[in-house]
């Protein structure tokens, strides 16, 4: 099929090894797939039932542009109750997935040529979201020695007159790094000094093991220059709902609503009903699942550190990802991933797919049960790399 109909911007996209892994696994019936950031648990039944019940009651339509008022209120109540942050309902937008929320935020705030700072390594979509919006992504190195925490003093070195904003992501995918309160304070100071907008991805809120989760919104001065993005995907193991909420200055919410009306007209109503229930009552329901993730993470990290030439932060700081240093094997991260896939039938993701600083590391998703995770470690150890 000719490529003549494909836009130049799409032809420039490089297909990462991560994107090719699904095809490579084809035909391997004993594969242990640790490559996908989708929790293996089905969303708890009460959350699904809340959506079902409300759908039967008629919530099957478009909703108000910013989302159902009672769902917006649930976001406001949640930030107050769980994170001690005061949010005005006017600053909330309910939208369609964190991915889309971040794209909407970039599209609504970035002018052609604006530079946006992004931690390296981090979730790979941020770069495309900035660049599809006409901006330039500028990667800010983070280091294993710093526990992969984003440092304001390093970010400052990359600021130019064109810098418009900075992405922060805590806990971070793929490193699991959790920003401490003082890291966030330093970023807010930096943003004030250079008049930057902060895009704060908080979708792994409850996967913080090292320090209690702190929202950047709790730092004085942050609210007027921050777009917070959070979603159902990880905190409620509900990637299928494609439902997110944004907290941002009123003008940015307005621009996102305006742009969004031409893309996805209002967030899915049934998912919004699930979100209302989850935000109000989900914490206790999720507790056993969160405990299971923590146990998987801690025990798998201990096991990985017993494999010669592999090293990972233990106990892990956050998320359900382990970012394993494989440099002592002498292989590149892509070579390591291909070897482990072909010879041990275990699928991992090369760290360099998340940014240059990820070279020499691989991401392990704890999205299968502990016995499978330990079996994957046994298989990798048996390769003698």
Interface residues with ligand PLP (CB under 6 A)?
A: 37, 97-99, 123, 169, 173, 201, 203, 231, 233, 239, 244
How far apart are CB 119 and ligand PLP at their closest, in Å?
10
Reading the block at residue 226, the tokens are 């921050």
How far apart are CB 256 and ligand PLP at their closest, in Å?
15
How far apart are CB 201 and ligand PLP at their closest, in Å?
5
How far apart are CB 232 and ligand PLP at their closest, in Å?
7
- DSSP class of 297: H
C-alpha to C-alpha distance for 172 and 355, rounded to whole angstroms: 13
Is the Cβ of residue 239 or residue 300 nearer to ligand PLP in the bound state?
239
Is the Cβ of residue 274 or residue 331 nearer to ligand PLP in the bound state?
274
How far apart are CB 334 and ligand PLP at their closest, in Å?
20
Query: Which residue shows structure tokens 């931690």?
Result: 119
Reading the block at residue 348, the tokens are 């991992």
Produce one character per residue of 129-154: b if its CB has 16 or more CB atoms within 10 Å, e if not: bbbebebbbbbbbbebeebbbbbbee
Is the Cβ of residue 203 or residue 223 nearer to ligand PLP in the bound state?
203
Q: Which residue(s) pair with 126 in the sheet? A: none
Q: Would you call 280 exposed, middle or buried from its count of C-beta atoms within 10 A (0-12, 13-18, 19+)? A: middle
Is the Cβ of residue 203 or residue 248 nearer to ligand PLP in the bound state?
203
Reading the block at residue 320, the tokens are 């359900």
Is the Cβ of residue 214 or residue 231 nearer to ligand PLP in the bound state?
231
How far apart are CB 243 and ligand PLP at their closest, in Å?
8
Is the Cβ of residue 35 or residue 233 nearer to ligand PLP in the bound state?
233
125 Cβ contact list (under 8 Å, min separation 6): 99, 102, 103
Is the Cβ of residue 97 or residue 269 nearer to ligand PLP in the bound state?
97
How far apart are CB 52 and ligand PLP at their closest, in Å?
21
Closest by CA position to 325, among listed 364, 290, 372: 364
How far apart are CB 169 and ligand PLP at their closest, in Å?
5
Is the Cβ of residue 142 or residue 231 nearer to ligand PLP in the bound state?
231
The β-bridge relationship of strands 163-169 and 115-120 is parallel
Contact 111, 134 (CB under 8 A): yes
Produce one character per residue of 322-342: b if its CB has 16 or more CB atoms within 10 Å, e if not: bbbbbbebebbbbebbbebbe
């Amino acid at each position: 099929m000719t490529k003549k109909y494909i836009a130049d911007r799409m032809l420039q996209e490089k297909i990462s090894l991560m994107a090719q892994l699904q095809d490579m696994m084809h035909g391997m019936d004993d594969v242990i797939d640790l490559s996908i950031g989708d929790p293996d648990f089905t969303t708890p039944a009460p959350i699904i039932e809340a959506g079902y019940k409300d759908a039967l009651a008629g919530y099957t339509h478009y909703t108000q542009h910013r989302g159902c008022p009672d769902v917006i209120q649930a976001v406001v109540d949640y930030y107050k109750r769980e994170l001690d942050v005061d949010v005005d309902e006017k600053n909330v937008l309910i939208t369609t997935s964190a991915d889309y929320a971040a794209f909407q935020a970039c599209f609504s705030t970035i002018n052609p040529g604006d530079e946006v700072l992004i931690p390296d390594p981090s979730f790979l979509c941020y770069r495309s979201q900035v660049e599809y919006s006409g901006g330039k992504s500028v990667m800010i190195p983070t280091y294993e020695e710093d526990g992969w925490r984003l440092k304001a003093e390093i970010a400052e070195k990359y600021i130019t007159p064109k810098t418009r904003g900075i992405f922060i992501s805590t806990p971070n995918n793929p490193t699991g790094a959790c920003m401490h309160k003082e890291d966030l304070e330093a970023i807010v100071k930096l943003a004030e000094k250079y008049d930057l907008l902060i895009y704060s991805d908080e979708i792994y809120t409850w996967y913080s093991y090292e320090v209690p989760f702190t929202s950047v919104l709790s730092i004085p001065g942050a609210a007027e220059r921050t777009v917070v993005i959070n979603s159902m995907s990880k905190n409620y193991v509900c990637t299928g709902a494609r439902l997110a909420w944004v907290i941002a200055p009123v003008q940015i919410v307005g621009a996102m609503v305006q742009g969004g009306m031409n893309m996805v007209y209002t967030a899915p109503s049934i998912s919004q009903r699930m979100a209302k229930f989850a935000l109000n009552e989900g914490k206790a329901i999720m507790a056993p699942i969160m405990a299971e993730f923590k146990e998987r993470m801690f025990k798998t990290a201990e096991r990985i550190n017993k494999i010669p030439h592999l090293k990972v932060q233990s106990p892990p700081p956050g998320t359900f990802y382990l970012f394993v240093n494989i440099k002592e094997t002498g292989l590149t991260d892509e070579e390591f991933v291909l070897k482990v896939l072909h010879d041990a039938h275990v699928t991992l993701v090369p760290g360099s797919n998340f940014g240059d600083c990820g070279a020499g590391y691989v991401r392990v998703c704890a999205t299968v049960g502990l016995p499978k995770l330990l079996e994957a470690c046994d298989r990798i150890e048996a390769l003698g790399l």
